[in-house]
Amino acid sequence: MSTASPDTASPDTAPPDTAPHGPTPVAAPWHADPYTNALRNGHGPLFLRRSDGWLLPLDVERWCASADVADLSALHRCEGSVLDIGCGPGRLVAGAAARGHRVLGIDVSRAAVDHAIRLGGTALLRSVFDALPGEGRWGTALLIDGNVGIGGDPRVLLTRVAQLVAPGGLLIAETVRMDVDERVEVHVDDGRGTPGEPFPWARLGSPALLRHARPLGWRRVDQWTAGDRCFVALRRARRT
């Protein structure tokens, strides 16, 4: 366990503390059978379904595979220790570790965390809004695979991530290809009439993410596409 204070510890030299921080309330939606079953089987179909019936396909096969070219384009930009928020089955945790980073994945799904650990990664059953190891010392935070939508309120999530990374730390987020800025209520659905619990979610294109991020002290340092996926890298202000 690291005893260095967040004010003096560098994310490159201070390994994140991975000790438990007491009982964690785990959100129910990702414990729903459709998501758990899809991860255990390694494939879909799996969707996020809005109340109006609109479906967003979830790429379970890609999540359960190794990091692809687009993933590597994000991992190549990581700096220091890496916190993968909503790590899912752990491909980015494994990919970042293979590149020499100290990395921790967090997820509210037990099936996802177990899968990440089986890959040899370090992962905890936590929400990003719970107490986390190494707060204020992470070199890079990842919000990939739509995880910029966690909690349904981008400003709240971006504020929380700013508390987790070190001053001057990096956030790498994947965004929607269109200029979308919406908050919705969704549930996980396997397409066969087996819905999970409803929960709030957000979908953001890159322009919307930047609009929310700038007033909170984040500045864009990179923006790119890889295949059909879009990414933005933001740096936290050293002083807020």
Contacts for 106 with CB less than 8 Å, ≥ 6 apart: 83, 84, 85, 86, 87, 123, 124, 125, 126, 127, 128, 132
Which residue has tokens 């990919």? 95
205: in domain: yes
163 or 3: which carries more pLDDT confidence?
163
Residue 32 confidence (pLDDT) = 54
Residue 33 confidence (pLDDT) = 74
- CA 191 from chain centre, in angstroms, equals 24
60: in domain: no
58: in domain: no
115, 36 contact by CB (below 8 A): no
143: in domain: yes
6: in domain: no
In the chain, pLDDT over 90 holds for what percent of residues?
A: 78
| Dist. CA 202–CA 176, nearest whole Å | 10
190: in domain: no
Q: Helices in the chain by DSSP H: which ranges?
A: 33-41, 60-64, 69-75, 91-98, 110-118, 154-164, 206-213
Question: 156-186, pLDDT tens digit by residue?
Answer: 999 999 999 999 999 999 999 999 999 999 9
Q: What is the CATH number of the domain that holds 227?
A: 3.40.50.150
Question: 20-67, pLDDT tens digit by residue?
Answer: 333 333 345 555 578 999 999 999 999 999 988 899 999 999 999 999
Residue numbers of the domain that contains 232 = 67-183+201-236
Average pLDDT over every residue of 96-120: 96
29: in domain: no
In the chain, pLDDT over 70 holds for what percent of residues?
A: 86
Number of structural domains in the chain: 1
* Residue 132 scores a pLDDT above 80: yes
Which residue has tokens 């004010």? 7
Amino acid at position 189, single letter: D
Tell me which residue of 100, 111, 119 sits closest to 41, measured CA to CA: 111
